Amino acid sequence: MAEPKLLGGVEAGGTKFLCGVANEDGVVLDQVRIPTTTPAATLSAASAFFAKAQARHGALAALSIGSFGPLSLRATAPDYGSITSTPKVGWSQIDLLGHFAQTLDVPMALDTDVNCAAVGELLFGSGRGLDTFCYVTVGTGIGVGLLVGGVPHGGANHPEAGHIRLPRALGDQAFDGICPFHGDCLEGLASGPAIRARWGMPAEELPPEHPAWGVIAEYIAGLCASLTYIVRPDRIIIGGGVMQPIDMHARVRTALHKQLGGYDSSIAELDMDAYVAAPTAGDSAGLTGALAIAHRLVTRQWPMHWAIGAQQNSVSTLSKVS
């Protein structure tokens, strides 16, 4: 009988690193939530977790990391495997893959946090059965993951669709935007920090009747329109803190339908309720996706046999793990 394969996954975020190990059936055997502090402290805590997990559960067969970025993902780049130039203090030019390669001699993969979350949605959430879809998160930043032909899309490095520019919404001409690179790109206008800068309070404190929500929905719909025309996805899944108000998906659908302008029957007749959807793979979809990518590194296939229950369980117990 072949030795059981232990899969390792990391969801590397700006506030926490989730690390987990799972068996071949996707059952999470061990996981830890590490606060993101300095790279040295955070990454050595992550390594310590995997060392302990291997002592308990046997050798890892593969490790997959989904990380905040920007990342260097082109295999021929000199800084391949690193976070490149992030606004997060201390985390620029941090060699993620290099760090884990110091202690682990296994196949490793690195992709964006949003691509990993998209894989989680593909297997256990709103992306099930779809060939091509977008996963958008609107929060501290605006990130977009793309599944094309059933696999995460990277291209020459990785998409950064939060930085596209759009026409300014009516009544939002005066605000300059806060993106350090582009000023009023989408992220500079509609991310959480942009909302706070524009309206003087964080998104979660804006009352439901505040006109800000119409403006924000207009911008997010603008992203969806560009994704529609450029990628032609089967669905756009949108999550993140800014999408929390109960009617935000409805607002985005209405604005998107209007922006698409009845162009071409296949677009004009899109069922907006199905086309613009909330994520449903749970809060740790990124870790789930990373573990699924580790499975694919070992077997060359997505783990279509993983039980949703095993993953859901991992989600619900997550907050109890220290």
Residue 19 host element (H or E): strand 16-22
- Phi then psi for residue 149, to 5 deg, are 60, 30
Residue 151 host element (H or E): strand 151-152
Determine if 231 is a binding residue for its own copies (CB under 8 A). yes
Query: Closer to its own copies at the Cβ: 78 or 200?
Result: 78
Pick one of 55, 156, 174, 304: the residue that binds its own copies (CB under 8 A).
Answer: 156
Determine if 14 is a binding residue for its own copies (CB under 8 A). no
Q: Which stretch binds its own copies (CB under 8 A): 49-57, 119-127, 175-183, 201-209?
A: 175-183
Pick one of 84, 254, 280, 312: the residue that binds its own copies (CB under 8 A).
Answer: 84
Instruction: Identify which of 186, 262, 191 has the alpha carbon closest to the alpha carbon of residue 224.
Output: 186
Q: Which stretch binds its own copies (CB under 8 A): 1-9, 28-36, 95-103, 145-153?
A: 145-153
User: For the window 240-269, what string marks contact with its own copies as x by the rule CB under 8 A?
Assistant: -------------------x-xxxxxxx--
Single-letter amino acid code for the residue at 65: I
Pick one of 24, 30, 95, 234: the residue that binds its own copies (CB under 8 A).
Answer: 234
Cβ–Cβ < 8 Å for 35, 27: no
DSSP letter at 30 equals: E
Determine if 230 is a binding residue for its own copies (CB under 8 A). yes
At residue 10, the 3 state secondary structure works out as strand
Could you give the dihedral angle defined by the CA atoms of residues 221, 224, 228 and 229, in that order, rounded to the nearest 10 degrees? 70
Question: Whose structure tokens read 């929905």?
Answer: 217
Site residues, its own copies (CB under 8 A): 70, 72, 74, 77, 79, 84-85, 131-132, 144, 146, 148-149, 153-168, 179, 181-182, 184-185, 222, 225-227, 229-234, 259, 261-267
